[in-house]
Amino acid sequence: MDELLSKCWLIKNAFHIDVHAVDEQFQTILHISDDSEPLILVEARKQMYVDLQKALEQADNRSFCLYTDSFQLSYMAVPVHKNEQFQGMVLVGPFLNERVTDQFIWKVIKDNQLESTWLKPLDKFYKSLAYLGQTPLATGEVLVNLLVNPRLETQFITTKNRRNDYPVELQPQDYDQNGLEVKLRYEAEKKFLHFIEAGDKENAMKALIDFTGDFSYRVPGNPLRAKKNLSFSSNTMNRLAAARGGVEPQYLHMISEKFALKIESAVTMAELDTLNFNMVEEYCDAVKDFSVKGYSSVIKKALMYINLHFQEPINVQMIATDLGFNRIYLAKKFKKEVQMSMIDYIQKKRIKEAMFLLDQGLLSITDIGIQVGFSGYNYFCKIFKEVTGMTATEYKGSR
């Protein structure tokens, strides 16, 4: 028992994943957890024990089982034997094999028929979990070897840094290689920021992988802080690139502030990876959807106002009053530069947002109409068909 306990603590400390050992009657032997798991997930796990035991009780001690439940939470189970008899299992999890996004959480809620009020608590819990990505099988091999073999007591030794006594000379080929890596990185950075400036989300995502590097050495002993610092820098560079793409400072400030707060509150490396991808998406979308480059200062202000407030019950008079312009002057100037009336622009903006929400499949048509700024279902459906050539129901059915 003492050896099992020490091995389970080793797993917990090494992988930052909860460990639960049960006997053949599913009685808890030990449970090492942060106890932050919502009760609904604990209840959903009960059937999993039965399925895992069926898979493992006839297996030998070299085996492990990988299990993913309807909440997309993954677990690994390793059998415990005594005198070649099945005595129970060690359960390691939950962890994630997929990055957490808003769409991911909404799918979990939908698949498990939960209320939308679960969005925030589930999002917070999932972002606290370890992300193993494509490595769970390799992790499983480590767990089997650790649990099956006797644990060895380790001894920690230290050595002094002798760089001052024996200086290492930098070889010319090392310098050339380092210089080449730096050059390639900055070329990748230049290409990446160009795609942000152009609002090219697909190519920006591809370039992000080449652009991203490991800078954990900058904060020794704290890789999370090093990655946060790099994420803050990326947020700044993305904002400047989007500004060159024509997005107004007011809107960019909102995006930048939002991600700065999320970066600082992140608790895992996986969460920061997700935030970096989300940043690219949002800045590219801003360039694509909110660029006001090439317009006069008057129309830039009007466009930005609409882009920020189109979900509210706004009209031409309200916009003109809030911006300090004459209504007739603003309406004529807007139509001349944008090639459509302000009302048409607002309606198209609302319908575009409605199409995005319909693609997500999370809200009813009535709720979407209200959310994008329409006062009633019938009026929303009328404008939707005028703009898209089909009804909202037809569009939803075509996705």
Q: Distance between CA atoms of 1 and 353, rounded to whole angstroms?
A: 58
- The CATH number covering residue 117 comes to 3.30.450
Q: What is the CA radius of gyration of the chain?
A: 28
Residue 289 CB contacts under 8 Å (≥ 6 apart), including other chains: 307, 352
- In this structure, of 130-134, 240-244, 296-300, the range with the lowest mean pLDDT score is 130-134
Report the largest interatomic distance among the alpha carbons of the chain, rounded to a whole angstrom.
90
Least confident segment among 123-127, 135-139, 294-298: 135-139
Domain with 387 in it:
297-398
260 and 324 fall within a common domain: no
Q: Is residue 172 very low, low, confident or very high in pLDDT (cuts 50, 70, 90)?
A: very low
Phi and psi for 83 in degrees, rounded to 5? 55, 40
Other Cβ atoms less than 10 A from the Cβ of 348: the count is 16
358 and 281 share a domain? no
Which of these ranges, 124-133, 214-223, 347-356, has the smallest mean pLDDT? 214-223
Report pLDDT digits (tens) over 144-162: 888 877 776 666 665 655 5
Helices (H) and strands (E) in the chain, counts: 18, 5
Q: Are 66 and 55 in contact (CB under 8 A)?
A: no
The Cα 233–Cα 312 span in angstroms is 34
pLDDT > 80? residue 251: no
| Segment (H or E) for 102 | helix 102-111
Task: Report d(CA 119, CA 195) in Å as an integer.
Answer: 32
Task: Give me the chain's average pLDDT, please.
Answer: 80
CA 382/CA 380 separation, integer angstroms: 5
Phi, psi of 99 (to 5 degrees): -70, 145
Tell me how many degrees the CA angle 151-152-158 measures, rounded to the nearest 5: 140
Please check the confidence at residue 303 and state whether its pLDDT lies above 60: yes
Structure confidence at residue 166 (pLDDT) = 42
Does 306 share its domain with 263?
Answer: no
Judged by average pLDDT, the poorest of 65-69, 176-180, 270-274, 360-364 is: 176-180
CA–CA gap between residue 67 and residue 52 (Å, rounded): 8
pLDDT in tens, 17-76: 888 888 888 787 888 876 667 777 777 777 788 888 888 887 877 888 888 888 888 888
pLDDT at 83: 79
Cα–Cα distance for residue pair 258/235, rounded to 1 Å: 10
Taking 70 as the threshold, does the pLDDT of residue 290 lie above it? no
Q: How confident is the model at residue 177 (pLDDT cuts 50, 70, 90)?
A: very low
Are 315 and 392 members of one domain?
yes
Strand order through the sheet with 74-82: 28-32, 19-23, 85-95, 74-82, 65-68
User: The CATH number of the domain where 333 resides is what?
Assistant: 1.10.10.60
Number of domains in the chain: 3
284 and 303 in a common domain:
no
- On whether residue 379 sits in a domain, the answer given is yes
Determine the pLDDT at residue 271: 86
Residues 284 and 353 in one domain: no
Q: How many residues does the chain have?
A: 399
**Same structural domain for residues 230 and 329?**
no
Of 208-222, 230-244, 302-316, the least confident: 208-222
Same domain, 116 and 12: yes
The CA-based angle 165-166-167, given to 5 degrees, is: 110
Do both 18 and 99 map to the same domain? yes
Task: Give the span between the Cα atoms of 89 and 144, in whole angstroms.
Answer: 11
Query: For the whole prediction, is pTM greater than 0.75?
Result: no
How many percent of the chain have pLDDT more than 70?
83
Q: Would residue 166 count as lying in a domain?
A: no
Last residue within a domain, chosen from 240, 258, 290: 290
Residue 155 lies inside a defined structural domain of this protein: no
| Whole-number pLDDT of residue 159 | 60
Q: Cα 237 vs. chain centroid, distance in angstroms?
A: 19
Residue 176 pLDDT class (50, 70, 90 cuts): very low
Q: Could you read off the pLDDT of 69-101 as tens digits, one per residue? A: 888 888 888 888 877 788 888 888 888 888 888
Over residues 181-211, the pLDDT tens digits come to 566 667 777 778 888 887 888 888 888 776 5
Q: Does residue 260 belong to any structural domain of this protein?
A: yes
